[in-house]
Amino acid sequence: MNETKNITFIVLCVMGIFAILSSTMSKNPVLKPFATSLETPEGFWMGFVASASTIPGVLVSLPAASLSDILGRRKFLVISALIFASAPFLYLLISMWWQLILVRFYHGFATAIFVPVTEASIAELFPSNRGERISIFSSATCIGRGLAPFLGGYILFISDYSFFTLYLAVGIAGVTAFMTTLFFWPREKALMPDLVIERKPTEKLFSGWRKLAGKPGVLGVSFVQASQFFVFGAVEFFLVGYLKEVVQLDAFQIGTILGSQIVAVILTKPIMGRWSDKIGRRVPIIAGTIMSGLPLLFIPFSTQFVVLMFLSVAYGLGFSAVTSSTPALASELSPKDLIGTAMGFLGMTMDVGQTIGPLVTGVIVATNLGYTASFPVLTGVLMISVLVFAFFIR
């Protein structure tokens, strides 16, 4: 049985690498230049381009993960893989900026379904060390997320900003993620025997939501998660703009700064998850939130490549400490039969934050305050979230 669980876990991690490589490379570092080339209006609409892919997370993360409690995880993993494989090729057909919003919206359904359903699966399979296992899976996805800026930046660099070439590479990674799901089909019972829990009538879906929403601890964890991704979504998009427009770095240098941040997350997340399994979730979340907020204060006043890379890595370490603990804590604060619902609720609030973050930041950047005010505002968001979390989780 342990061998079967480990095989399932490895397959999920491999799928995660290619799926997140594909989805991240579609936006980082290409989305801002691509949107600019399509003459996307600055301000709100530019921010909306950045956040369009996170809106599906608000709409479907909770329903999909909750239904996976009832119908099983496998079906939803295959659906997400189909979207990962098909969405990248739609970018090749885009000729107007509003079409980019539609494609980003469709692409967002893949991650919105995949991440919470997979985390729920892992939490069920490894109840005694779920923090470490979820963090290892998250690090696996971060391998894809970390390779994306390096690979995407390099492709843009050698192709003289050929968006067609870049999105073709995105499509290859997405198809590879879909091919990984073939492992689930011929050996369905052998590979994923424990991912379908006792079936319940679908009418219990909404009662499960109400039950979970009545737990203050889950709400506190979800708020700090939403705040982290409010900031992450803004940093991921507008840090590229700052580095390109203000500091005037080339695509490969920008990819190196962003990629170094993700490498830091990859290397530290399993360690952080194991740490939180041993000492509890509260300390890593509070310390990580403070650590992720402080570097952002200095970014708009820095122009040196080495300094900016250091600040980017420091932010990534704090982000790693928080997000290695939040899914495990949410699952521990929830009833056993609502683990998928808990992961979906966490994913939904995360995407609410990641949707609003670029929109608010885009409005600030478009004013006279520009980048100088936008990054300190993000620090303020994180400081507020840590106070709320400390109040709810004592």
Residue 95: both structure tokens together: 């000729």
With bands split at pLDDT 50, 70 and 90, how would you rate the model's confidence at 258? Answer: confident
How many whole angstroms separate alpha carbon 358 and alpha carbon 52? 10
> Do residues 392 and 220 touch, judged by C-beta distance below 8 A?
yes
**Tens digit of each residue's pLDDT (9 = 90 or more) over 275-334:** 888 888 888 999 999 999 999 999 998 889 999 999 999 999 999 999 888 888 888 887
| Cβ count near 319 (within 10 Å) | 26
Whether the pLDDT of residue 125 is over 70: the answer is yes
pLDDT at 195 over 50: no
pLDDT-derived band at 267, boundaries 50, 70, 90: confident
The reply to whether 331 falls in a domain is yes
Peptide bond into 193 cis (omega under 30): no
| Across 163-167, average pLDDT | 94
Is 109 exposed, middle or buried, given 0-12, 13-18 or 19+ CB atoms closer than 10 A? buried
Which distant-in-sequence residues (6+ apart) come within 8 Å of 30 by Cβ? 152, 156, 163, 166, 167
**With bands split at pLDDT 50, 70 and 90, how would you rate the model's confidence at 227?**
very high
Q: Is residue 281 part of a domain?
A: yes
Q: Identify the top-confidence range among 36-45, 112-121, 143-152.
A: 112-121
- Segment 226-240 shows an average pLDDT of 89
At residue 43 the predicted structure's pLDDT band, cuts being 50, 70 and 90, is confident
Quick check: is 190 in a domain?
no
Is 205 part of a structural domain of the chain? no
d(CA 295, CA 299): 7
Q: How confident is the model at residue 190 (pLDDT cuts 50, 70, 90)?
A: very low
For residues 317 and 268, the answer to whether their CB atoms sit within 8 Å is yes
CA–CA distance, 127 with 339 (Å, rounded to integer) = 11
Chain mean pLDDT for the chain: 85
Burial environment of residue 301 by CB neighbours within 10 A (0 to 12, 13 to 18, 19 or more): exposed
Could you tell me if residue 198 is inside a domain? no
DSSP assignment letter at 234? H
**Structural domains in the chain (count):** 1
Give the structural domain span for 51: 2-185+216-392
CA 340 to chain centre: 17
- pLDDT > 70 in the chain, percent: 93
State residue 196's pLDDT score: 44
Torsion of CA 40, 18, 264, 379, to 10 degrees: 30
Which amino acid appears at position 207 of this protein? S
pLDDT score recorded for residue 104: 95
Position 96 confidence tier, pLDDT thresholds 50, 70, 90: very high
Question: What's the CATH code of the domain at 316?
Answer: 1.20.1250.20
DSSP 3-state of 37? helix
Give domain status of residue 114, yes or no.
Answer: yes
Given a cut of 70, whether residue 238 has pLDDT beyond it is yes
For the ranges 14-28, 55-69, 330-344, the maximum mean pLDDT occurs at 14-28
pLDDT at 203: 55
Token representation of residue 140: 């696996």
**Quick check: is 196 in a domain?**
no
Overall average pLDDT of the 9-26 stretch? 93
Please check whether residue 370 lies inside any domain of the structure: yes
